[in-house]
Amino acid sequence: MPPPPPLIYAELLPNIRQISVLAALPTPSGATTRVSLSKDRAVLTLVHNGATASLQLPGAIAPTYTPTQPHPALAQLSWRIPLVASPSQQRVAPSLPAPWSANALASTSSFSCRGCGQVILPPGRVTLWRDLPSENWAEMMEFWHCHKPDVPVGEKGDGEGGDNTTKGYGANTRMMAQRGVGKVDLTYFLLDSEDCSGLEVRIFVILFLLGFFGFYISGIKKAACQLIASVARSPIQMPQSDPSTPSQDGECTLSHREWVTLPSGFSGFSMGECLGRDEEHNPYLPTSRPRPTSISCKLPLHNQTNPPQTNPSSLTVTCTYCAARIGTSTPAGYQLYKWSLSLTAPLTTSTSSPTSQLAPTSPPLPHFILPQLHAQSSALGVSKFIIRPPPPPADVESESDTDAEVGVYVWLFAPSLTVSFSSLSSRPISSHPGPIPTNSSQPTPLPASKLLFRPSPPRDEATALLDAPNSAVEELRLPASVVRAFTTLLQESNARLPEGARAFAGGWDVGILEVWDGGEGGV
């Protein structure tokens, strides 16, 4: 069995014009340990006990630099390599784009389920793609509206005053899906349900309680009928639920209902007649009554100083073929997660490269989550996030203990880096002195983000941390399966680092995740 190769990690430090190189050896260094540069000074190679590891440096180094050979009996090695001299450049704020922006998509773009290939958005269904604004745009517009210069009373138009809905913006303004229009966020698409195919909304009825129509139970049938008969002396109307009206603790809501009027003086009926075993011939029910599409129950939350605000009408949208979770159904439309989809058609020709490359078919999860973290960090001025699942939606009775414990606490330490990793393959080399062969197929430097991470604190502690007056921590809600996958990727990236680079002061672990570079080809 060949000896394990050394692990090498290189990170470009543009502010100090250097490249930091760290290496971990399986055994302490000795006479067989040596380091060299390729002829073009682009590849660094480390040899130890017959195994070799190489990486392509993430920058052009000074032509006069020669690496120092390792001292004996060391298991951790490091170098600081100066970059080639160049004119000073103005620092540019890092920008982390996400794949599949509106400008990159066309009417021919089609998406399928990443798990099974089932077509979710056929080509031609969406003829116009638009980028959604920042999540904080409504609050910013509302702030501007409140602090804009006063307008004389006689010059005020019809749009002045009124509530936020009539103004078209404000904290309660909602972006709605439109038929034939795809609205693009960093992590999801907002689509009209009629434009999608191969999807189903999972509805689990956890409580069916609607006034007089919820008690067809053998033991209380007679008592319920007597109660209705005693109060039905005047027309009784059962109000239709307004999904926009928040429900109180313990209140159950049922969407898509109609008014049902009981005639004055109506009495002496049986519950079976009222509900109607044969609704078609029941004179007291609407002749064409739509079936309820969603039932939700908002139960009181305990031990939560600031309960998260969730939409009781949000339901899980799954693939009809493999039952994979594709997104959620909300009153605004279908929100389909980008990481659950694969692009099955080329990008628009206006962004195509001369080589006619296609977009990445299935970009990895960090390509979507990291831009979201960076966008929130830039908008809110924070860099630490607790990533955990949302409270159970309307189609789940209660949150499982497993999902309740899922979570990761991350610190977006460096959003935009250029790094290199050594290849994990080893090969025997000759023991005699001489030029060290280099591998021409070394992995190229990667654009990446450095995140510090550790397990999420318990729920109560996390809530207290988020609600602290001067809290510098924000929350990002993602499905439990996505949180688990993201945590696993962080842990795997940590294992690729040399041991000396895996931990940070304060109990943090270090993760390096690749970000999307904005190109069309490859991942």
pLDDT at 80: 96
pLDDT at 361: 84
Long-range CB contact pairs, 173-179, < 8 A, 24+: 173/138, 174/331, 174/332, 175/132, 175/332, 176/332, 176/333, 177/332, 177/333, 177/334
pLDDT at 482: 96
Provide the H-helix boundaries in 183-317. 221-231, 271-275
Q: What is the distance between the alpha carbons of residues 293 and 256, in angstroms, rounded to a whole number?
A: 7
pLDDT at 427: 38
| 435 Cβ contact list (under 8 Å, min separation 6) | 36
* 443 in Cβ contact with 421 (< 8 Å): yes
Q: What is the distance between the alpha carbons of residues 180 and 196, in angstroms, rounded to a whole number?
A: 10
Q: What is the distance between the alpha carbons of residues 385 and 379, in angstroms, rounded to a whole number?
A: 13
Q: Which amino acid is at 326?
A: I
Nearest Cα residue to 474 out of 381, 409, 385: 385
Axis-axis angle for helices 480-496, 366-380 (nearest 10): 100
Q: Which amino acid is at 280?
A: E
Tokens of 140: 């910013």
* 513 in Cβ contact with 370 (< 8 Å): yes
Tokens of 491: 């842990």
523 residues of the chain, pLDDT tens digit each: 677 889 999 999 998 999 999 999 999 999 999 999 999 999 999 999 989 999 999 999 999 999 999 999 999 999 999 999 876 665 665 678 899 999 989 999 999 999 999 999 999 999 999 999 876 655 555 555 566 666 565 655 544 444 444 455 555 556 899 999 999 999 999 999 999 999 999 764 433 333 334 444 444 444 444 444 444 444 444 444 444 444 444 433 333 433 333 333 333 333 333 333 343 344 333 433 343 333 333 333 333 333 333 444 568 999 999 999 999 999 999 999 999 999 987 666 555 444 344 555 899 999 999 999 999 999 888 999 999 998 765 445 555 556 667 899 999 999 999 999 986 443 333 333 344 444 446 778 999 999 999 999 988 899 899 998 888 999 999 999 999 999 999 999 999 999 989 999 999 999 999 999 876 543 3
pLDDT at 147: 61
Q: Where are the domains of the chain?
A: 7-86+406-514, 211-293
Tokens of 291: 């079936």
* 262 in Cβ contact with 229 (< 8 Å): no
* 210 in Cβ contact with 258 (< 8 Å): no
Mapped onto helix, strand or coil, the DSSP state of residue 189 is: strand
Q: How far is CA 493 from CA 4, 453, 497, in A?
A: 18, 11, 7
Q: What is the distance between the alpha carbons of residues 492 and 419, in angstroms, rounded to a whole number?
A: 16
Phi, psi at residue 35, to the nearest 5°? -125, 150
* 409: DSSP letter: E
Please, which residues bridge with residue 418 across strands?
447
Q: What is the pTM of this model?
A: 0.71
Tokens of 400: 């499982």
* 448 in Cβ contact with 419 (< 8 Å): yes
